[in-house]
Amino acid sequence: MAIKHLKTAEFDEIMDAAPLAMVDFWASWCGPCKMLSPTVEALAEQYEGKALVGKVNVDEEPDLARRFGVMSIPTVVFLKNGREFDRKVGVMPVEAFTQVLDKNL
């Protein structure tokens, strides 16, 4: 499954229905986001059917970025049925994300 690009209008509906989700807040002008991007895309494939892996462009969806208090990108937020339970800020190795996902599958 290709990675899901999330828009403000549909965000809540999609998240409420997802038992486990990981959302990467990013922007095109952010070097560290470019670094993290391949990792997030690989995770979307690896966890297909088990967890929803999505991306939010903070330029296009400033309301979502504000709502989640995203103040540095990349920020990766983990949610269960729409409720945040963990987040990682900055570029990190893939294990930092798989650990959270595996523990909460």
Contact 21, 54 (CB under 8 A): yes
Based on the residue annotation, tell me whether 33 is a catalytic residue of this protein.
yes
CA–CA separation, 8 and 23 (whole Å) = 13
The reply on whether position 69 binds other proteins by CB under 8 A is yes
Question: 80 or 87: whose CB is closer to other proteins?
Answer: 87
What's the closest the beta carbon of residue 33 comes to other proteins, in angstroms?
8
Stretch in the footprint of other proteins (CB under 8 A) among 10-18, 34-42, 46-54, 97-105: 34-42
3-state secondary structure of 10: helix
Question: 19 or 90: whose CB is closer to other proteins?
Answer: 90
> Which residue in 14, 23, 5, 11 sits closest to 78, CA to CA?
23
Residue labelled with tokens 């990108």: 73
Using CB under 8 A as the criterion, which residues of the chain lie in contact with other proteins when the complex forms? 27, 29-32, 34-35, 38-39, 58-59, 65, 69-73, 75, 89-94
